[in-house]
């Protein structure tokens, strides 16, 4: 049996990559124990790779009112709405780890209304899904609803911007047929993985 392709496009060898791109990939490999395929698939275009991960980091690794688990919940919920296999599987793993909850990612990916989360996070995901699916219909009342749950305007930007960034990410992954690493499927599901 042959190894399935991880992209419809050629995947560069590490040694052929610009130094900064290779360094970023080696760093994530060091931390995670493997190289998530998004790094290899997007390295086909180093300029876009740099912008993609700079944007990602600006949204996902900043300080702010949202926890890391909440940020990943937004990713998983909107990727579910966009039917993006890579992002559901990869970010589902990260969500399980951050939330220390082996069930939450599948719940959020399928139907956040049935997830074990409080109404504040339900409102957060409802807004994220509106940005993902019907952004032209956003009105001031949507902001008011989130403020009533205690979100600041900067939190709301974060929620919407993460949904918007993964609108890009989901479409890239779907277009190039990006394949999730096998490792992600199990990560965070059993005690020794957490």
Binding site for a second copy (CB under 8 A): 4, 8-9, 44-45, 47-48, 50-52, 54-55, 58-59, 62, 80, 82-85, 88-89, 102-103, 106-107, 109-111, 113-114, 116, 131-132, 135-140, 143, 153, 157, 160-161, 163-165, 167-172, 174-177, 179, 182, 185-186, 189-190
Taking each helix axis from N to C terminus, what angle separates 85-99 and 68-81, rounded to the nearest 10 degrees?
A: 160
Nearest CA among 14, 3, 98 for reference residue 49 = 14
**How many angstroms separate the CA atoms of 136 and 13, rounded?**
41
Query: Which CB, 30 or 140, lies closer to a second copy?
Result: 140
Q: Check: CB of residue 194 under 8 Å from CB of residue 99.
A: no
- Identify which of residues 30 and 190 has a Cβ nearer to a second copy in the complex: 190
The DSSP output letter for 187 is T
Nearest to a second copy of 22, 102 (CB atom): 102
- Residue 85 C-beta: closest distance to a second copy, Å: 5
**Hey, what are 15's tokens?**
């040694």
Q: Decide whether 21 or 84 has the Cβ nearer to a second copy.
A: 84
Task: Please enumerate in sequence order all residues whose Cβ is within 8 A of that of 78, keeping only pairs 6 or more positions apart, or say none.
Answer: 128, 129, 131, 132, 162, 163, 166, 167, 170
- The nearer residue to a second copy, 30 or 114, going by C-beta atoms, is 114
Name the minimum Å distance from CB 121 to a second copy: 15
Give, for 167, the enclosing helix (H) or strand (E): helix 153-176
CB of 168 to a second copy, least distance (A): 4
CB of 24 to a second copy, least distance (A): 14
């Amino acid at each position: 049996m042959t190894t399935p392709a991880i992209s419809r496009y050629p995947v560069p060898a590490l040694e052929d990559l610009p130094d900064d791109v290779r360094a970023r990939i080696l760093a994530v490999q060091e931390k995670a124990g493997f190289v998530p395929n998004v790094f290899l698939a997007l390295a086909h275009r180093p300029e876009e790779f740099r912008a993609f991960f700079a944007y990602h980091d600006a949204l996902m690794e900043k300080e702010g009112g949202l926890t890391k688990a909440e940020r990943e919940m937004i990713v998983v919920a909107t990727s579910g709405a966009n039917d993006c296999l890579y992002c559901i599987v990869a970010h589902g793993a990260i969500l399980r780890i951050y939330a220390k909850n082996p069930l939450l990612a599948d719940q959020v990916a399928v139907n956040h209304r049935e997830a074990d989360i409080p109404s504040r996070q339900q409102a957060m995901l409802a807004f994220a899904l509106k940005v993902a699916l019907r952004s032209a219909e956003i009105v001031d009342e949507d902001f008011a609803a989130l403020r009533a749950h205690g979100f600041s305007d900067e939190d709301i930007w974060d929620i919407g911007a993460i949904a918007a960034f993964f609108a890009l990410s989901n479409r890239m992954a779907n277009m190039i047929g990006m394949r999730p690493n096998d490792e992600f499927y199990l990560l965070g599901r059993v005690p020794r993985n957490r």
